Structure 1
């Protein structure tokens, strides 16, 4: 009987887990107490203290003998599994400017220890106009100067059929000069600018001196000045410049210029005034208007900036665009002043006036800048002046595709929110200096 019972227990234990079967066979023996696991020499907490001395006495690693890599240089074609060959640089025997590495910055003849902060056409000033005011030692006046407003408010200086002509120019840029349903900004912004300039040229029949002007594109400006031991420079390409044979007369009177001595320039501590400017060590302290001697249209009149990028992040925001307009208007005026009066810092007897207009094809920025002094090192003394009329819409919306709801046209194609006063200001800046 005992043998039969043991056989039955063995058969029943075959279908159970090993631990349970062992407990049945051994009549539920108590489990053994488990001790701590042996500690490995390398764990997440680092080596154990008792083995630190072993690590410090480890022999140095053996130096591996470098083997020559087997390349496919002899095959003269790519072979999988073989290393890529490296050849010494090829000496042509003559200097190819497209394939020759340039000299190092340390070896360049124009390298200087003192850095220069450059403002070029892609610089976006963080603090906007306030930062540009400090860099150019300029006092801001809101609105356009009285000399320009008198032209705006005088109907004798307006174009005949102004509203209808401007609407035709907007329609030509937004609706007619394209095969697309909704043209991109990079297309209609330059077209609108050319049409508006054409409308301004129509006034030359009434004022013949307007024919003594010229539009210059892709010219390069260079102007250097010092501001509180900081060397600054405006350099490179900028907007379209309209030059004239005669300069624009000063906008502010001598009393207004002398009153700028009491103006205190706004600071934006702890932000550095040179933030966002490019610091370079290879440069020339150059002052150049961008035109050769003998050019008949020697006086800068108005700068036009077209922010025609279709993608919004690639366009300058209005505040950054106004700062860019101020910096380059100042650069053109400073370069012209140094041609006329020399490089010595001084208060100008006849201030240099440069205007600026910025637009993205819908929103316009107007600016008039007057350079009163080239002594820009300290904050004391006479300051320059700038008048800014910002965020002027020529039209609110150009509906290129009609809005249809329930088979009913709720908003037809057309121009909405047209504001003719914006073009009157554009025309007044064009006529300024002639009327």
Structure 2
């Protein structure tokens, strides 16, 4: 009978000195050198490398090396990922086509100015969030809602009949019934939820006929320009859904509270520049426009609604709060300059604008009171803003139950409904009427 002998297992590799090097053996570890460089025909010699002997006596040899030219895929007529993209000359048509004319240089445009302007628009994301918006608008922040809103919110006479059931039906319509998709996207349910809540608020018109003297404007464009410590700033563009009224909102703070803001010191965020994330342009027109023509009966801005329903340009809560303050300030400033002129002054009748922002689940509430248009210096009277942030209307909404080990852990439906959030929403809508 033949005996089979298995070959010995190799436990290591031989070192150049003849010593075996393994995990449990002796001998120095052989260092592994760097990988070889790419050939000169692709990447070129390393910086400071010595030229070959046949090019050492040639003047300007490095500039005349054919190996240093960029290798492109021009001759192959198709794209090669590891080759550079060729640069082709501009094709000339042989005749003038005005549809393909590029824009003129900025210096040749009639609205070009040497002084730059920093613009805040709908998609601006301020790095420092609400803190930066407070400095730009010369505003003092007050946490919580003012008593005027809380009184309307807590009064049972200003509430809807069967309020909880009707609000939950609006949530179910936006999250479950608006289409046949199993998981409805935020772009779909956020505007539907906001419009459903506004419809519930409009049903109070039979009880308060003054609510009929309002008008909702979609994508209303506002323009307001001001100077802040010798920096020219602007708020421009559409800012969501704007609710206008025939009569202005009454001031929230009294005259004594307005004068007390002179002692408030604005918080800075050095070394970050106050204009960071603002668009710097040299072609602009410094104008103030409310977005409506003369003779429009609904003259005064009441509430701005910000639905965050664009996944491509989704904002964090701090960015949304900053944009709400900037556009509330812009609408108030444009109206103040239309009423009192462009001369900086402390307003006799402050202008109040409200803001509500939501992503379909979480709500942000803000009231802004413009007290002064003298915004260049940091001293003097400040504007005021009341902010109530991160208020959930509901905690979760599930179209399908969560099942674990054949046991329903979380049933389908709406969970964690918060009635106070809708009451704040309704109080903002009824403010100025009750």
C-alpha change, 1:408 and 1:157, in structure 2 (3 Å) is same
Separation in structure 2 between the aligned mates of residue 429 and residue 361 of structure 1, nearest angstrom? 17
**Equivalence map 1:17-416=2 (5 Å):** 46-47=49-50, 54-56=57-59, 87-89=91-93, 91-92=95-96, 95-96=98-99, 99-310=100-311, 314-416=313-415
Cα distance in 1 for residues equivalent to 2:359 and 2:64:
67
CA deviations on 1:173-200 (whole Å, 9 max, x unpaired) are: 1111110112111111111001100000
Rounded to whole Å, the distance in 2 between the matches of 1:191 and 1:416 is: 19
Question: Which of the two has greater helix per residue?
Answer: 1
Under a length normalisation based on structure 2, what TM-score does the superposition of the two structures give?
A: 0.80
Runs ≥4 in structure 1, deviation > 4 angstroms?
42-45, 48-53, 55-58, 83-87, 89-93
RMSD of aligned residue pairs (Cα, Å): 2.6
For 1:290 and 1:117, how far apart are their aligned partners in 2? 20
Change (3 A) 1:90 1:102: farther
Structure 1 residue 296: Cα displacement: 1.1
What is the CA–CA distance in structure 1 between the aligned matches of 2:123 and 2:319, rounded to whole Å?
A: 10
How far apart are the structure 1 equivalents of 2:335 and 2:359? 28
Q: Over residues 382-424 of structure 1, what are the superposed CA-to-partner deviations in whole Å (9 max), with x where a residue is unaligned?
A: 0000000000000000011111233333322111000000000
Instruction: Describe the shift of the 1:402–1:243 C-alpha distance in structure 2 as closer, same or farther (beyond 3 A).
Output: same
Displacement of 1:89: 4.4
Alpha-carbon distance in 2 for matches of 1:52, 1:407: 79
Counterparts of 2:50 and 2:143 in 1: how far apart (Å)?
A: 72
List per-residue Cα deviations over 1:229-271 (Å, max 9, x = no partner): 1000000111110111111111111010000000000000000
C-alpha separation between the residues in 1 aligned to 2:161 and 2:112? 57
* 1:315 to partner: Cα distance: 1.4
Does the 8 A contact of 1:223 with 1:234 survive in 2?
Answer: yes
Q: Residue 34 of structure 1 aligns with which residue?
A: none
Deviation at 1:44, TM superposition (A): 8.0
* Number of aligned residues: 370
Displacement after TM superposition at 1:92 (Å) = 4.6
Q: Deviations over 1:302-323 (max 9, x none)?
A: 0000112346xx3111111100
> What's the offset of the Cα at 1:46?
3.6
**For the Cα contact (< 8 Å) 1:184–1:310, is it kept in 2?**
no
C-alpha distance in structure 2 between counterparts of 1:286 and 1:204, whole Å: 37
Deviation digits for residues 193-230 of structure 1 (CA, Å, limit 9, x no counterpart)? 01100000011111100011111112211000000010
> Residues of 2 paired with 1:131 and 1:425: CA distance?
26
Find the aligned partners of 1:49 and 1:399 in 2 and give their Cα distance.
72
**Aligned residue number for residue 40 of structure 2:** none
- Helix, strand or coil for the counterpart of 2:248? coil
Separation in 2, partners of 1:434, 1:90: 68
Q: How far 1:48 moved relative to its partner?
A: 8.1
Tell me, yes or no, if the aligned pair for 1:182 and 1:401 is still in contact at 8 Å.
no
Looking at structure 2, the residues matched to 310 and 327 of structure 1 have their Cα atoms a distance apart, in angstroms, of 22
Gaps of 5+ in 1: 1-41, 63-77
Aligned-partner Cα distance in 2 for 1:175–1:101: 48
**What secondary structure is seen at the aligned counterpart in 2 of 1:54?**
coil
